[in-house]
């Protein structure tokens, strides 16, 4: 093949065998975490407490006295109270599983009248404590709302309920020659409704944009049980205010998304992955620009990994990287409609990058297993860093001119307090994952990191939460990215859509009074 010859000429190496990870953290840390109310000094709002009468009403709405869609057993509800990272735990006593929009509306109407706080929950894969109760909120799980109503390959649209699992949608639209416009590690369990509620980012964003562009229509139920039909199959629809965007990324605090219409791009026939070694961040930045220009329309991912990130990953999981000993690495993925054309573009891009001295060494593959193995080197970094004991994780958007500086600044600042200070992420979307791992949490290192990292980001007008959202854990940092006026308008919008504040309280908006202020 043309590509392979060219690569040999360029002394790019082929991908070696990559050992399967020996363990994952998910199977490790299984003990029940402390209750959020004991760990964080947040204060419970003046909501009603759940009574047996309430449970009876819920059963009435969800199928009668013996309903299996109202969970109240301690064991049954526990999983719905603990988040994926096991960093927070609520003590919600009831989990409700509606099947229809009308049921959601009826449940919310009742909760709103009774002043019962509600935590809407999708696949519970969020990373900021947004998807589980903080105290005793009623859990409204969308799990059973997983019907796909319609797939239209002409217009490129899937219409479905909010509880559909992303991977299942991917499969179903895939059978019709399309892909979902987003892809993320949690796709096996995350719900599309949760993805949209949190405006999830992920790996394809550089190619297909964010969900504000891809979500064509939304049906949402407000706290008062009003059904807002904002469904549409169309990218062009200028009929009044574009209200659906209020529900995209507001993390279930303004309404519960029940149905969706999502634009699905045409699937690519050919996918290739290149893994490159580079000498400096400047070369990374320059290579990204070259990739945009040289690969143009086929560029589908552009990731940066620094040496400490890769080292941590290969060491912990016993993986072998096809190239080593570079301070920086890039993972570039292309996808297009013609394998030959894509290979030609990729080869030319790599030749030029090596001739210009931007890329030192690299490997390219179009074989699915090998591509998967290369992606592992990127996707398992986060888990490997957790193995050091404790890991401070920051998910920032930063200007590319200053993208990596913060890693150096933090590394210098924390010195021996940290085991690893690493930076990796979606350079194609200006999104840096800054991680600081240490053997255990200490107030000293915490004080060195915060508010330093947020102030640094704020000075550069970066985003203190690029793709993870605010949830419960990041509320007190919101003001680093949003000034007083936008915060004020957010509160007004919240008040308008949820006057009693029952929907996902303690999330997104910062506490108004200092007594509500959270600590670490």
Site for its own copies in 135-154 (CB under 8 A): 152-154
Closest distance to its own copies from the beta carbon of 445 (Å): 24
Q: Which is nearer to its own copies, 154 or 440 (CB)?
A: 154
Q: Compare residues 18 and 346 and give the one whose CB is closer to its own copies.
A: 346
CB of residue 252 to its own copies, shortest distance in Å: 12
| Residue number, 93 or 345, with CB nearest to its own copies | 345
> Is 156 near its own copies (CB under 8 A)?
yes
Choose the binding region for its own copies from 21-29, 303-311, 381-389, 486-494 (rule: CB under 8 A): 486-494
CB of 463 to its own copies, least distance (A): 4
DSSP string, 79-105: HHHB-TTS--B-----EE---SHHHHH
Longest dimension (CA), the chain: 76
Q: Does 234 bind its own copies (CB under 8 A)?
A: yes
509 lies in the binding site for its own copies (CB under 8 A): yes
Query: Which of 108, 127, 254, 374 is close enough to bind its own copies by CB under 8 A?
Result: 254
| 190 is a contact residue toward its own copies (CB under 8 A) | no
The token pair that represents 336 in the structure block:
């297009």
Q: How many CB atoms lie within 10 A of CB 386?
A: 19
By CB under 8 A, tell whether 344 contacts its own copies. yes
- Among the residue ranges 109-117, 166-174, 241-249, 404-412, the one whose residues contact its own copies (CB under 8 A): 241-249
Place of tokens 């220009």: 293
Tokens 């550069």 belong to 460
Q: Which of these ranges, 79-87, 185-193, 364-372, 425-433, lies near its own copies under the rule CB under 8 A?
A: 425-433
Q: Dihedrals φ, ψ of 426, to 5°?
A: -90, 80
d(CA 168, CA 325): 39
Q: Which is nearer to its own copies, 56 or 496 (CB)?
A: 496
Q: Which is nearer to its own copies, 58 or 424 (CB)?
A: 424
Site string for its own copies, 6-25 (x = CB under 8 A): --------------------
Q: Which is nearer to its own copies, 212 or 325 (CB)?
A: 212
Rounded to the nearest whole angstrom, what is the least distance from the CB of residue 390 to its own copies in the complex? 24
Q: Which stretch binds its own copies (CB under 8 A): 24-32, 161-169, 304-312, 477-485?
A: 477-485
Structure tokens at 167: 């991977």
Candidate list 81, 124, 141, 199; residue touching its own copies; CB under 8 A: 199
The 267-306 contact track toward its own copies, x by CB under 8 A, reads -xx---------------x--xx--xxxxxxx--------
What single string gives the DSSP state of each residue in 474-504?
TGGGGGGTS-HHHHHHHHHHHHHH-TT--BS
Which helix (DSSP H) or strand (DSSP E) does residue 397 occupy? strand 390-397
Q: How far is the CB of 95 from its own copies (least distance, A)?
A: 26
Asked if 465 interacts with its own copies (CB under 8 A), we say yes
Measure the CA–CA gap between 225 and 107, rounded to whole angstroms.
8
d(CA 118, CA 388): 36
| Residue 365, CB-side half-sphere exposure with 13 Å CA sphere | 18
Give the containing element (helix H, strand E) for 302. Answer: strand 299-306
- 9: CB partners within 8 A, 6+ apart: none
Q: How many residues bind its own copies (CB under 8 A)?
A: 93
- 503 beta partners: 118
Among residues 23 and 292, whose Cβ is nearest to its own copies?
Answer: 292
| Of positions 243, 367, 372, 459, contacts its own copies by CB under 8 A | 243
- Residue 340, token pair as written in the block: 């030959």
Quote the least distance from Cβ 2 to its own copies, whole Å: 13
What is the rounded (10 degree) CA torsion for 162, 163, 165, 168? -80
Distance CA 518, CA 507 (A): 12
My answer on whether omega of the bond before 10 falls inside 30° of 0, hence cis, is no
Is 258 among the residues that bind its own copies (CB under 8 A)?
no
286, with CB counted inside 10 A (0-12, 13-18, 19+), is middle
Q: Show the binding pattern over residues 377-406: x = contacts its own copies (CB under 8 A), - = does not.
A: --------------------x-xxx-----
Q: Are 270 and 335 in contact (CB under 8 A)?
A: yes
| Token digits of residue 491 | 């509160």
By beta-carbon proximity to its own copies, the closer residue of 298 and 319 is: 298
State the minimum distance, in angstroms, from the CB of residue 462 to its own copies: 8
Question: 444-463: which residues touch its own copies (CB under 8 A)?
Answer: 461-463
User: Residue 367 CB: number of other CB atoms within 10 A?
Assistant: 12
CA pair distance 293, 441, nearest whole angstrom: 44
Residue 103 or 311: the one with the smaller Cβ distance to its own copies is: 103
Q: Find the binding residues for its own copies in span 200-229 (CB under 8 A).
A: 201, 205, 209-210, 212-214, 226-229
185 forms part of the interface with its own copies (CB under 8 A): no
Structure tokens at 376: 């592992």
Of residues 223, 180, 240, 229, the one with CA closest to residue 204 = 180
Q: Would you count residue 431 as binding its own copies (CB under 8 A)?
A: yes
467 binds its own copies (CB under 8 A): yes
Mask 321-340, x = binds its own copies (CB under 8 A)? --------------xxxx--
Examine residue 193 and tell whether it contacts its own copies (CB under 8 A): no
Tell the smallest beta-carbon distance from residue 91 to its own copies (Å): 27
Query: 341: which residues sit within 8 A by CB, 6+ positions away?
Result: 298
CB neighbours of 157 closer than 8 A, spacing ≥ 6? 150, 151, 216, 233, 261, 262, 263, 264
Q: Is 486 in the site for its own copies (CB under 8 A)?
A: yes
């Amino acid at each position: 093949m043309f590509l392979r010859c060219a690569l040999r000429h360029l002394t790019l190496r082929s991908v070696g065998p990559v050992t399967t990870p020996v363990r994952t953290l998910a199977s490790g840390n299984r003990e029940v975490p402390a209750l959020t109310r004991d760990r964080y000094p947040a204060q419970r709002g003046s909501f009603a407490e759940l009574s047996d009468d309430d449970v009876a009403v819920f059963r009435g709405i969800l199928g009668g006295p013996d309903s299996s869609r109202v969970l109240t057993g301690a064991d049954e509800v526990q999983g719905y109270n603990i988040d994926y990272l096991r960093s927070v735990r609520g003590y919600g006593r009831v989990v409700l599983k509606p099947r229809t929009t009308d049921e959601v509306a009826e449940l919310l109407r009742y909760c709103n009248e009774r002043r019962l706080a509600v935590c809407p929950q999708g696949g519970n894969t969020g990373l900021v404590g947004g998807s589980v109760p903080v105290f005793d909120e009623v859990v409204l799980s969308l799990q059973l709302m997983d019907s796909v109503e319609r797939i239209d390959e002409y217009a490129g649209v899937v219409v479905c309920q909010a509880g559909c699992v992303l991977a299942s949608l991917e499969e179903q639209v895939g059978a019709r020659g399309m892909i979902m416009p987003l892809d993320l590690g949690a796709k096996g369990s995350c719900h599309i409704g949760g993805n949209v509620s949190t405006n999830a980012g992920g790996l394809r964003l550089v190619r297909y944009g964010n969900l504000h562009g891809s979500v064509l229509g939304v049906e949402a139920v407000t706290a008062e049980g009003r059904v807002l039909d904002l469904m549409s199959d169309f990218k062009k629809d200028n009929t009044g205010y574009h209200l659906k965007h209020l529900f995209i990324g507001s993390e279930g605090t303004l309404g519960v998304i029940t149905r969706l219409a999502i634009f699905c791009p045409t699937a690519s026939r050919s996918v290739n992955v290149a893994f490159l070694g580079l000498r400096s961040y400047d070369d990374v930045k320059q290579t990204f620009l070259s990739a945009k220009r040289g690969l143009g329309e086929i560029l589908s991912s552009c990731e940066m990994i620094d040496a400490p990130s890769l080292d941590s990953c290969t060491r912990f999981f016993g993986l072998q990287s096809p190239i080593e000993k570079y301070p920086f690495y890039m993972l570039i993925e292309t996808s297009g409609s013609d394998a030959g054309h894509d290979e030609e573009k990729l080869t030319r891009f790599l030749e030029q990058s090596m001739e210009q001295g931007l890329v030192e060494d690299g490997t390219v593959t179009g074989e699915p297993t090998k591509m998967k193995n290369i992606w592992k080197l990127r996707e398992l970094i986060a888990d490997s860093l957790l193995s050091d004991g404790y890991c401070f994780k920051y998910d920032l958007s930063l200007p590319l001119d200053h993208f990596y500086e913060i890693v150096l600044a933090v590394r210098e600042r924390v010195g021996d307090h940290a085991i690893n200070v690493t930076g990796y992420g979606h350079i194609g979307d200006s999104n840096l994952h800054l991680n600081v791992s240490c053997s255990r949490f200490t107030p000293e290192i915490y004080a060195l990191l915060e508010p330093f990292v947020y102030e640094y980001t704020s000075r550069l007008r970066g985003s203190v939460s690029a793709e993870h959202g605010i949830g419960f854990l990041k509320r007190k940092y919101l003001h680093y990215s949003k000034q007083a006026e936008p915060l004020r308008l957010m509160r007004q919008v919240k008040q308008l859509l949820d006057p009693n504040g029952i929907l996902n309280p303690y999330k997104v908006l910062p506490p108004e009074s200092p007594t509500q202020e959270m600590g670490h």
